[in-house]
Amino acid sequence: MIPIIGLMSGTSVDGIDASLVFTNGTKLDRTSFNSITPYREETQNFLKICNKNPKRFKEKKEQVARLTKLITNEHANVAKKLIKISGIKPELIGFHGQTIYHNPSNLVSIQLGDGKLLSKLLKTNVVFNFRSSDILNGGQGAPIAPIYHKYLIENLKIKLPAVIINIGGISNITYWDGENLLGFDTGPGNNLMDHYVQMILNKKFDKNGDLASLGTPNFAIVEEFLNQNYFNMVPPKSLDRTTFIKNNIYKKKF
Ligand SMILES: Nc1ncnc2c1ncn2[C@@H]1O[C@H](COP(=O)(O)OP(=O)(O)OP(=O)(O)O)[C@@H](O)[C@H]1O
Ligand SMILES: [Mg+2]
């Protein structure tokens, strides 16, 4: 097994998750060297501008180059910190990149991040661009989660068939019965609440659900969400960060 650092920045744009692990691709030894690092304000603000209209943003090459560099540098700093505190030099870095646009039906999923620059900054090999390669091979662009969840199910000796649900910005599920491995996005996760509190209260997220726990579910809105065509579609299927936000259902109601 070799030391590898995995760098993940999810759909909620909350920052960079990093883990130093020992693995050979099928077996895993965790270490205590893991970190969660929010993006710096400059990067966050720039990402906000980008996320307002990613399609238009990606047409402006200079902006894209600047944001790509910022994101890459932030990932490099996170990895450098882990290398420093662990004293372990990774032989490989897994670099997801920040998704700014995801539309697998058009074979497009764009992650910002420069793998070559990261490799240069960290002086080690970097694997990146998982999503595009997966989409070009007929996938929905999120190839890693089901493989990891399958590992968890087996490692925890959970009775099969088993599912794991991962609720981040978007919620996704993995099904594993010993033969068939299936994974897809089930719907929005915390991103609707994030968006709502950012829009209305200028807060980043509803910490520990404190705000939500003060109220009662509005089933009319729930119903409206559940009427969305996405829930009738059979997998494979996946969601862009903004798919449900764009519908503005809750904006109409408040
Ligand atoms: N203490 C907390 N209370 C409420 N919500 C939280 C808390 N901590 C994190 N969150 C929410 O969880 C989400 C971040 O989780 P995570 O990093 O797993 O998701 P992500 O960045 O979208 O990644 P992925 O795309 O892999 O799902 C954000 O939407 C954030 O608002
Ligand atoms: Mg995250």
Give the pairing type, strands 92-95 and 125-128: parallel
User: What confidence tier does 45 reach under pLDDT thresholds 50, 70, 90?
Assistant: very high
The answer, yes or no, to whether residue 64 has pLDDT greater than 90, is yes
Closest atom, ligand 1, to C-alpha of 12: 22
Ligand 1, atom nearest to 204 Cα: 31
The ligand placed nearest to the CA atom of residue 168 is: 1
- Which pLDDT tens digit goes with each residue over 104-154? 888 888 999 999 999 999 999 999 998 888 898 889 988 889 999 999 999
Pick 254 or 69 by higher pLDDT: 69
Which CATH topology does 144-253 take? Nucleotidyltransferase; domain 5 (3.30.420)
Does 52 have pLDDT greater than 90? Answer: no
Does the beta carbon of 194 lie inside 6 Å of ligand 1? yes
> Do 2-136 and 144-253 agree at the fold level?
yes
Give the pLDDT score at 44: 92
Nearest ligand, CA of residue 193?
A: 1
pLDDT of residue 252: 53
pLDDT at site 221:
84
Residue 186 Cβ contacting ligand 1 at under 6 Å? no
26 CA distance to ligand 2 centroid (A)?
A: 24
Least confident piece of the model among 53-57, 75-79, 145-149: 53-57
pLDDT at 216: 94
pLDDT exceeds 90 at position 244: no
Q: Which residues pair with 82 in a beta bridge?
A: none
Predicted pLDDT at 66: 97
In the chain, alpha helices (H): 41-52, 54-57, 61-86, 115-122, 130-136, 144-155, 191-200, 219-226, 243-246, 249-253
- Cα-atom radius of gyration of the chain, to the nearest Å? 19
Are 68 and 113 spatial neighbours (Cβ–Cβ below 8 Å)?
A: yes
pLDDT in the model for residue 194? 92
Mean pLDDT, rounded, of the chain? 92
How far is CA 38 from each of CA 12, 41, 50, 118, 193, rounded to the nearest angstrom? Answer: 11, 9, 17, 18, 18
Q: What separation, in Å, do the N-terminal and C-terminal C-alpha atoms of the chain show?
A: 54
Which atom of ligand 1 is nearest the CA belonging to 189? 29
89-117 per-position pLDDT tens digit: 999 999 999 999 998 888 888 999 999 99
CATH number 3.30.420.40 is the correct assignment for the domain at 2-136: yes
pLDDT > 90 fraction of the chain, expressed in percent and rounded: 71
How many Cα atoms sit within 13 Å of 59 on the Cβ side? 3
Boundaries of every domain in the chain: 2-136, 144-253
Whether pLDDT at 180 is above 70: yes
pTM, whole model, 2 decimals?
A: 0.90
Would the CB of 208 count as within 6 Å of ligand 1?
yes
Distance from the Cα of residue 218 to its chain's centroid: 28
pLDDT at position 254 over 80 = no
